[in-house]
Amino acid sequence: MKARIAAAPYLLWAALFIIIPMGLVGWYAITDMDGNLTLDNFSASMRFAPVIGSSVWLAIIATGICLVIAYPLAYMISRKSGIGQRTLILLVMLPMWMNFLLRTYAWMTLLENNGVINRLLGMIGLGPYEMINTPGAVVLGMVYNYLPFMILPLYSVMTKIEPLLIEAATDLGCSPWETMKRVILPLSLPGIATGITMVFVPSVSTFVISVMLGGGSFMLIGDLIEMQFLGNAYNPHLGAALSLVLMAILLLCMVITDMFSNPEEKEGLLL
Amino acid sequence: MDNNMFRRLTALFCTILLLAASGSAAFADSFEFDRDNLPYTDDWDAYSYDEEYYSQLAGQGASINFYNWGEYISDGSDDLVDVIAEFEALTDIKVYYTNFATNEELYAKLKSGAASYDVIVPSDYMVARMIKEEMLAPLDYSNIPNVRYMNPAFMDPNYDPGSVYSLPYAWNTVGIIYNTSMVDEEPDSWSVLWDEQYAGQILMFNNSRDAFGVTLKYLGYSLNTEDPAQMREAAELLKEQKPLVQAYVMDQIFDKMENNEAAIATYYSGDALLIDNDNIAIAIPKEGTNKFVDACCIPAVAKNKLGAEMFINFLNEPPIAAQNTEYVGYGTANLAAYCLLDEEVRNDPILYPPQEILDNSEMYINLSDEANLMLDQLWTEVKASNKNILTWGILPVMTIAAIVIGKRQYRKNREKRHKYMIED
C-alpha cells in the first residue's frame, strides 16, 4: 500500500507526460489536416523509405563499430582492480559531462578541410583529406557520442563474471580463445543486448549529428520528422506517422536483441 | 458595421492618404523610390519622443512578448542604442524577448497555440499565410503615428494589400557570398553554383524554399511557380548540383566562410557584412533574385495590443530605426531613418541595390498547400539522392545477422522439442 502511494507521483507524471502525448501522436498520425480519419499519412511515410533505410543502415554501422571497440575495452576494465577500474570508468564517463552539441561542434572544427587534423597532417606533408560532410563523419559522430552507452552495460555485466569460472575453464584445458567463446561471450550476452539497444536507439533517431557533421547531405529519419514540423509544408500529421514508423523500427530492434538475453538460457549456461 | 471592419477601413484610408501625400505613384512591390530628393533631414537631433504618448501604460506593470529573428535588433553593442532597454525606460513596459530561426518555426509555435506573443516579425510570404489563416490582428494606425515616416514604396505590398496587418521592419535580398581569394571573377550568374571548378567548395541553403528559389531563378522561372514540371526540373538540377555541394547549411555559413572553408555560398546579402573575413564579397546575379521584407505584426491572440503598437511605433522613431538598421545590416523601409544614414551606406549597392536588380527580383508569395507538400517531397528526394553511404556492406551484414538469428532460433526450437521429449 505504502509503495503504491510512493509511486503515485511518478504514475501521475507518466500519465500526463508520456501516455497522453503518445495518444496525441497516434491521433495525429491517423487524421488529416481537416481532422478526418485516414491512413494516407502511413502510405505517404512509405515514400520516404530510402531515408528510413539509410538511417537504419548508418545506425547499424555505428552500433557495430561501438560493439567492436567497447567489448575488449569493457573486458579489460572489468579485470582491473580497485583504483584502476574506477579511473578508467571515470575516463569513459568524462565526455558525457560536456554538452552533446558542444562535443559534436568540436568534431566539426577538428574534421574541417582547414581544421585541426588536416592542418597537423599538412605539417608532415599529408592530405588534406576530405573528412567532414561524409557518411564516415556521421558514423564517427554517432560512435563518439554513444560509445559510453555500449561500454557501461558491458562493463557492469562483465564485472559479475566470476574469475573462478575463467580459471576453471583454463584448468579444464580451454585455450584463451575458447574461454572467450564458451564462457565470457555467453555470459556477457545480456550486456551486449542492452548496449546494442542503448546505442542503436539514439543513433537511428538522431538529427543533429547528420546536419552538423554530414553537411546536411545525408537526410536521416530524424531530419525528416523535424522537417514536417519546422519545414515548409508544416504537416504534423505526417510527422506523427513517421514517428510511429520510427518507433516500430525500434521495437523490432528490441525484439531481436531480446532474443539474445533469455534468462532461462543464462541459468542453463551456469549449470 | 462591426468594430473590426471599421478599423480595417480606417487603416486602409490612412494608407491611401499616406500614399497620396507622398506623391509618388509607387506600384506594388517595385521597391522603387527617388533616393536623392527626400523630404527628411539628416540631423539626428531633429527628433524627440512624444512623452505623453509613450507614458500611456506607465505604472501599470504592463509587458509585451516580442518574438524576433536572432541578432535582429540593436542590443547596445558597437556604440549603438539598446532598443529594448530604451523602450522599457521610456514607457515602463517590460519586454520579454525571444528568438526564432525560421518563419516556419514561428508559424508552428503560433499555430499550435503553445505561446502568445504581442509583436512578431515574419517575412512577407508568411505574413500572407497568417493573414489567410486569420492569425493576425489589424494594426490601429492611430496608435502608430510614425507610419508617416515609412517609405511608400514598401507600403500596400502584395502580401498585405493596404498594409492592414503589417509594417515593414527590414528588407534585403538573397545573394552569392564568395571569397575573393578563391574566386577570380565576380560571379554574375547563379550558374556559378553549378560550376565544376568549385566542386566541394559550395555552400547551399538548407531549406527547401530558398534552395528551390535560387534554382528556379537560374532556370528563368518564377520562384513562386506551382507548375509541377518546373519544380521537378529544378529538383533535377539540384540533384545534379549535389556532388559539387560541400554542405547544406544555414547559420553555419558564418563560421565556414570566415575560416575559408568554402569559396561560394548562397545567403541573405546583409548577413555577409557580418562575416569577419576581409576577402568576403557579395554579388547579386543578373538573373534576379529573391527580395524580401520582414514585417512587424501583431498576432490575433496578443494580450497587450496597445503596448505592441507602441513598440512598433518606437521601432520607427527615425533615430532608433537608423541605428537598428545599422546593427541588423539590412535595408530600412523607414525613409526618415534612411536619410539619417551615412551617404556611403545609402549608396551601398548590396544594401540598397540598383533598381534594375530589384525589378528583376521577386518576393515569395504563399504557395498552395499542394505546392508546399510537393516542394518538401522534392527536397527530400534531393537530400536522399545519396553520395555513397557504404551500401555495399548492407548485404553481407544482413546475411550474417540472418544466419546468427536463424541458428539461434533453430537451436531454441530443438531444445524445446528436447524438453518436451523428456517431459513426455
Q: Does B248 touch chain A (CB under 8 A)?
A: yes
Give the pLDDT confidence score for residue B23 in this predicted structure.
37
Measured CA to CA, the distance from residue A57 to residue B394 in angstroms comes to 7
* DSSP-derived 3-state class of residue B151: coil
Q: Does B245 touch chain A (CB under 8 A)?
A: yes
- Contacting residues for B346 by C-beta, under 8 A, at least 6 apart: B35, B338, B352
Give the pLDDT confidence score for residue B93 in this predicted structure.
95
Residue A98 lies in a domain: yes
Give the pLDDT confidence score for residue B86 in this predicted structure.
95
Other CB atoms within a 10 A radius of the CB of residue B224 amount to: 17
Q: Tell me which chain B residues have a C-beta less than 8 angstroms from the C-beta of A130.
A: 200
Query: Would you say B285 and B353 are in contact if contact means Cβ atoms under 8 Å apart?
Result: no
Q: Which of A217, A229, A264 to mutate to test the interface with B (most CBs of B within 10 A)?
A: A217
Task: Determine, for residues B389 and A217 on separate chains, whether the beta-carbon distance falls below 8 Å.
Answer: no
Identify the domain containing residue A193 by its residue range: 48-270
> pTM of the entire structure?
0.81
Q: Which of B252, B379, B389 sits opposite A57 (nearest CB)?
A: B389
* DSSP-derived 3-state class of residue B99: strand
Can you give B240-271 as a three-state secondary structure string? HHHHHEEEEECCCHHHHHHCCCCCEEEEEHHH
Query: Would you say B267 and B251 are in contact if contact means Cβ atoms under 8 Å apart?
Result: no
Among B231, B391, B176, B248, which residue's Cα sits nearest to residue A227? B248
- What topology does CATH give the domain B3-164+291-342? D-Maltodextrin-Binding Protein; domain 2 (3.40.190)
> pLDDT tens digits, chain B, 424 residues: what are they?
445 555 555 555 555 444 444 433 334 578 888 888 888 988 899 999 999 999 999 999 999 999 999 889 999 888 899 999 999 999 999 999 999 988 888 998 898 887 889 999 999 999 999 999 999 999 999 999 999 999 999 999 999 999 999 999 999 999 999 999 999 888 999 999 999 999 989 999 988 899 999 999 999 999 999 999 999 999 999 999 998 999 998 888 888 899 898 999 999 998 887 788 889 999 999 898 999 999 999 999 999 999 999 999 999 999 999 999 999 989 999 999 999 999 888 988 888 988 888 888 999 988 888 898 889 889 888 887 765 566 677 778 888 888 888 887 788 788 777 777 776 6
How distant is the Cα of A204 from the closest Cα of chain B, in angstroms? 15
Give the pLDDT confidence score for residue A270 in this predicted structure.
44
How distant is the Cα of B175 from the closest Cα of chain A, in angstroms? 21
Instruction: Tell how far CA B127 is from the center of its chain.
Output: 11
Query: Would you say B19 and B26 are in contact if contact means Cβ atoms under 8 Å apart?
Result: yes
Other CB atoms within a 10 A radius of the CB of residue B235 amount to: 23
Task: Determine, for residues B394 and A57 on separate chains, whether the beta-carbon distance falls below 8 Å.
Answer: yes
For chain A, give the mean pLDDT.
87
All three cell numbers of A83? 583504483
Task: Determine, for residues A215 and B261 on separate chains, whether the beta-carbon distance falls below 8 Å.
Answer: no
Interfacial B residues in 300-319 facing A (CB < 8 Å): none
Which contiguous run of DSSP H or E holds residue B174? strand B166-179
Q: Express each pLDDT in A159-186 by its tens digit.
A: 999 889 889 998 998 888 888 888 899 8
What value, to the nearest 5°, has the Cα angle with vertex B102 and ends B100 and B103? 100
Residue ranges per structural domain of chain B: 3-164+291-342, 173-290+375-384, 391-423
Q: Which of B256, B389, B414, B415 to mutate to test the interface with A (most CBs of A within 10 A)?
A: B389
Q: Does B369 touch chain A (CB under 8 A)?
A: yes
* DSSP-derived 3-state class of residue B107: helix
All three cell numbers of B249? 547549411
Query: Would you say B289 and B361 are in contact if contact means Cβ atoms under 8 Å apart?
Result: yes
Task: Determine, for residues A232 and B248 on separate chains, whether the beta-carbon distance falls below 8 Å.
Answer: no
How many Cβ pairs closer than 8 A exist between chain A and B?
105
Q: Which of A33, A114, A232 sits opposite B261 (nearest CB)?
A: A114
Q: Is the pLDDT of residue A231 over 80?
A: no
Tally of domains in chain A: 1
Residue A110 lies in a domain: yes
Q: Which of A57, A218, A230 sits opposite B108 (nearest CB)?
A: A230
ipTM of the complex: 0.79
Cα–Cα distances in Å, from A218 out to B26, B130, B160? Answer: 46, 32, 38
**CATH number of the structural domain spanning residue A247:** 1.10.3720.10
Measured CA to CA, the distance from residue A263 to residue B334 in angstroms comes to 74
Chain A residue with Cα closest to B259: A114
- B173-290+375-384 is a CATH 3.40.50.1370 domain: no
What value, to the nearest 5°, has the Cα angle with vertex A224 and ends A218 and A229? 145
Q: Does B247 touch chain A (CB under 8 A)?
A: yes
All three cell numbers of B392? 555495399
Q: What is the largest CA-CA distance in chain B?
A: 106
How distant is the Cα of A158 from the closest Cα of chain B, in angstroms? 22
Q: Tell me which chain A residues have a C-beta less than 8 angstroms from the C-beta of B245.
A: 215, 217
Q: What are the residue ranges of helices labelled H in B23-111?
A: 51-54, 83-91, 103-111
Q: Which of A112, A216, A259 sits opposite B206 (nearest CB)?
A: A216
Strand ranges (DSSP E) for B28-118?
A: 63-69, 94-100
Residue A9 lies in a domain: no
How distant is the Cα of B123 from the closest Cα of chain A, in angstroms? 13
Q: Which of B277, B383, B399 to mutate to test the interface with A (most CBs of A within 10 A)?
A: B383
Cα–Cα distances in Å, from B8 out to B175, B281, B311? Answer: 36, 44, 20
